[in-house]
């Protein structure tokens, strides 16, 4: 075979390095090593410090990527945190308990949380924030509505993959079930949901949100027996949050209406000499 000398020339080391770093799954190392080398030369860093800086960047990025992956896997309808939660708007909510729970130790202890309260009081917002905190601390999370979960379970049963779905649901560290009680469940639906609680009992944490007080849960599960057994499991190690009050949404839209009624007041408040609007009131 006639091989020209050029074919013998080795590939530039960067090409092999890029290949190896990809195979080792070190994308930040690959992306940053040139730039960090320039910085290292400028700052007079020796090679262990240069490598240390790259390794630290890779670790920070890896952690961020993992949090993002957990957030995607959780299927949150929106990403919300306690940073945007106004505790002063809901006096019935035990703020110190919420902040303590946001540290996620209840997940290590496999405790549950039940949030009860009327519509619009921030139950979904709070459990999204618990879910986000759990993702940030390295726990796997799944977010579902009670109706959505029952639908998934029934569908899995019809397609003969119920066991697989049940074991997935049992394995997740934090399962958030929103809106229990809005839709009455069929007998089969209630039983399938009960099995989920039963299989997760003392294996993982579950958060349940409901607009109905416990006394009315028999209407969701269609009977005393199932409701009793379910509450028995769910409330074994539980933190109960009460969110009773005025709907935050209604309050906000009332405030908006009031604000949009203001321009005419402001025109009245304009300085007759300069025409400037005085925003004092
Ligand atoms: P619920 O699930 O109890 O019906 P949501 O959590 O869906 O209520 O709240 C309705 C809307 O009001 C959401 O957009 C939510 O982010 C917002 N909201 C509710 N309570 C608060 C609060 N205390 N601070 C900030 N936003 C809130
Ligand atoms: Mg809700």
In angstroms, rounded to a whole number, what is the distance separating the alpha carbons of residues 79 and 95?
20
Q: What is the pLDDT of residues 56-68, one digit of tens each?
A: 999 999 999 999 9
Q: Whole-model pTM?
A: 0.84
Rg over alpha carbons for the chain, rounded to the nearest Å, is: 28
C-alpha 117 to ligand 2 mean position (Å)? 10
Q: What is the 86 CA–ligand 1 centroid distance (Å)?
A: 9
Q: What is the pLDDT of residue 268?
A: 44
Residue 217 confidence (pLDDT): 92
Q: Which of 124, 181, 248 to mutate to test the pocket of ligand 1 (most atoms within 8 A of CB)?
A: 248
Q: Are strands 238-242 and 141-145 parallel, antiparallel or unpaired?
A: unpaired
Distance CA 37, CA 67 (A): 28
How far away, in angstroms, is 210 Cα from ligand 2 center? Answer: 8
% of the chain residues with pLDDT over 90:
75
Closest Cα to atom 25 of ligand 1: 85
pLDDT in tens, 98-114: 999 999 999 999 999 99
CA 54 to the chain's CA centroid = 30
What residue owns the CA closest to ligand 1's atom 9? 122
What are the pocket residues of ligand 1 if the criterion is a CB atom closer than 6 Å to any ligand atom?
80, 84-86, 89-90, 117, 119-125, 248-249
């Amino acid at each position: 075979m006639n091989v020209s000398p050029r074919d013998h020339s080795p590939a530039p080391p960067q090409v092999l390095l890029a290949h190896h770093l990809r195979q080792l799954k070190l994308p930040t190392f690959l992306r940053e090593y040139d730039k960090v080398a320039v910085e290292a030369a400028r700052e007079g860093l020796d090679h262990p410090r240069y490598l240390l800086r790259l390794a630290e960047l890779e670790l920070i990025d890896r952690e961020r990527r993992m949090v993002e992956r957990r957030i995607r896997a959780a299927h949150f309808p929106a990403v919300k945190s306690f940073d945007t939660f106004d505790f002063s708007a809901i006096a019935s909510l035990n703020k110190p308990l919420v902040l303590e729970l946001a540290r996620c130790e209840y997940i290590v202890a496999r405790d549950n949380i039940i949030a009860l309260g009327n519509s619009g009081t921030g139950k979904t917002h709070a459990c999204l924030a618990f879910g986000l905190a759990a993702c940030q601390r390295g726990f796997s999370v799944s977010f579902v509505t009670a109706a959505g979960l029952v639908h998934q379970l029934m569908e899995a049963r019809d397609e003969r993959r119920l066991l697989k779905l049940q074991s997935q649901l049992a394995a997740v560290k934090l399962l958030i079930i929103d809106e229990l009680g809005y839709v009455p469940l069929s007998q089969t639906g209630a039983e399938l949901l009960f099995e989920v609680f039963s299989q997760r009992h003392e294996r993982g944490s579950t958060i349940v949100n409901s607009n109905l007080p416990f006394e009315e849960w028999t209407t969701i599960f269609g009977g005393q027996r199932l409701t009793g057994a379910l509450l028995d499991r769910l409330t074994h190690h539980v933190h109960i949050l009460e969110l009773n009050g005025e709907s935050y949404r209604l309050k906000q839209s009332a405030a908006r209406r009031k604000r949009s009624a203001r321009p005419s007041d402001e025109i009245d408040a304009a300085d007759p000499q300069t025409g400037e609007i005085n925003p004092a009131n």
